[in-house]
Structure 1
Amino acid sequence: MKAPIVEIFSSFQGEGLWIGKRQIFVRFAGCNLNCNYCDTKDSQNVNNGILKSVEEVVKKIKELKTPDLHSISFTGGEPLLYFDFINEIISQIDFKIMIETNGTLPDFLSKINNLNCVSLDLKLPEHFNMDWNEEIFNNEVLSIKSLIANKKNFYCKIVVSPSTSLNTIKGLGEKIHKIFPNDKFFIVIQPESPIKQWKNKSHVFFKFSESLGEYFNVFVIPQTHKILNIE
């Protein structure tokens, strides 16, 4: 069994609730979406990956292990396109497992074994250079339902740009709350990089957080690895 891999490397998690933790990142090539803010454009195209076997990936993970290693992050691209490959890797290692997913493949997400954390995107219409597709949102909802039903640790991530409106964030929060009225889960508001574009605009973070805070546990966290100039 082989899958297209862009890179395998060790660094610190720069996003979300495991921020600052030392991880080994396994980045897959290929994605079922084409988000305009994507900061790993090379990983969207499956042809940009090098086919590697499970054994090769496991060997590299073991070579990169450090005393401060916290977990393995499967990212992309969209890693869930290769859920069976990931399960084979998980069966051969003994580390905490994180998946960074766009959330649009709920059936594949439910097939991953021994997950410790899921970073799940909530896409906005402005994230695409095309008409908004309600199916994207519906699949994100199905993924969240699956994670809650299976008592998995997860958080949702919303990438915002300087042009993102308060009404967009507020509307999304209300829409999700109606579906999950009794689940006050974690939502990370992630300002789009580079941070310098937010000069004189960062006041909107407070409004975004306030608009979601009634229904969710909200964090505002930038891409800290970009600030530290690490991968």
Structure 2
Amino acid sequence: MLEAPIVEIFSSIQGEGLLVGRRQIFVRFAGCNLDCNYCDTEDSKSVKNGELKSVDYVVDRINNLKTEDLHSISFTGGEPLLYADFIREVIDRIDTPSFLETNGTFPNEIKKLDNLDYVSLDIKLPEHFDGDYNNKIFDREIESVNILLENSIKVYCKIVLFPESSLDYIEGLALRMSNEINDKDLVSVVIQPVSPISRWKNSKDLLFKFSQAIGKYMDVLTIPQLHKFLEIE
């Protein structure tokens, strides 16, 4: 019987990305392969903070939390791709669209999830880490995007930007995405200003510059974290 470490399962409103404002049931897994310095779910980084649950348990909780306005089930973390086989089985047993929030660094695992409906895939930047940045991270992220496109899964990329982020680096990143994503017209890039938004008090003009730089090569939107404003989980 498949089990996975679960931090929490709850119903709320999606606060990020292209599905912002949609009612979702969130299944939050424990454990992550990365250690991003802006993470707002620190308790989900360690596997120790999760409680092992079965597929039956998760499916039952989802069914009990359903509401009339439910749009989709969000598999989040932590890094949910650590539990791809578990997620696949859950999706096969529910009748609601599925949404994966991932750092995209496990392309071999994402191949297992050809039954997904939506994916939000983070593009990591060097400033997201206090230690050294592994250049292979970007290669794996783009590989994952292309696998999703091959399987006709709706995917967008999210980039958490800091006021300190390099404009030249971001433009170069967007150019690489444009060149390396197999069908860039099917993929939007969401700029997510790092929270709290007060960090941007003296740098709001930078958001326009970041948008223009990415917009030279990719479809781009700027969407802050709605749930921070609403003060909900």
Q: Which residue of 2 aligns with 1:187?
A: 189
Give the aligned residue type for 2:163: P
SS of 1:35's equivalent? coil
Q: Distance in 1 between matches of 2:181 and 2:157?
A: 13
Q: What SS does the aligned partner of 2:172 have?
A: helix
1:229 counterpart residue number: 231
Q: Hey, what does 2:46 align to over in structure 1? A: 45
Partner residue, 1:165 = 166
**TM-score where L is the length of structure 1:** 0.97
In structure 2, the partner of 1:120 is: 121
- Bigger shift: residues 175-184 or 37-46: 175-184
Which position in structure 1 is the counterpart of 2:105?
104
- d(CA) in 1 for partners of 2:103, 2:183: 23
Identify which of 204, 208, 211 aligns with 1:209: 211
Report the equivalent of 1:153: 154
Question: 1:76-91 alignment to 2 at 5 Å?
Answer: 76-91=77-92
Size of the aligned set, in residue pairs, is 231
Q: Which residue number corresponds to residue 76 of structure 2?
A: 75
Gaps spanning 5+ residues in structure 2: where? none
What 5-or-longer segments of structure 1 have no aligned partner? none
CA–CA separation in structure 2 for the residues paired with 1:54 and 1:28? 13
Partner letter of residue 223 of structure 1? Q
Say what the alpha-carbon RMSD is for the aligned residues: 1.1
The CA distance in 1 between the partners of 2:160 and 2:79, in whole Å, is 16
Aligned residues of 1:90 and 1:113 also touching (Cα < 8 A) = no
Secondary structure of 2:191's match? strand
Superposed displacement of residue 180, structure 1: 3.2
Q: Distance in 2 between matches of 1:219 and 1:51?
A: 37
Q: How far did 1:110 drift?
A: 1.3
Give distance in 2, aligned partners of 1:226 and 1:183: 30
Report deviation, 1:181: 7.3
SS in 2 for 1:62: helix
Helix, strand or coil: the match of 2:204? coil
Structure 1 segments of 4 or more deviating over 6 A?
Answer: none
Please state how far the C-alpha of 1:182 moved relative to its aligned partner: 5.2
Deviation of residue 164 (structure 1)?
A: 1.0
Contact 2:114 2:148 in 1 (8 A): no
Deviations 1:159-218 (A, max 9, x none): 011211211211211222222375232000000111112112111111011001121110
DSSP 3-state at the match of 1:119: strand
- What's the counterpart of residue 54 of structure 1? 55
Alpha-carbon shift at residue 29 of structure 1 (Å): 0.1
Distance 1:88 1:146 in 2: 20
Q: Give secondary structure in 2 for the equivalent of 1:203.
A: helix
- SS of residue in 2 equivalent to 1:130: coil
3-state SS of the aligned residue for 2:184?
Answer: coil
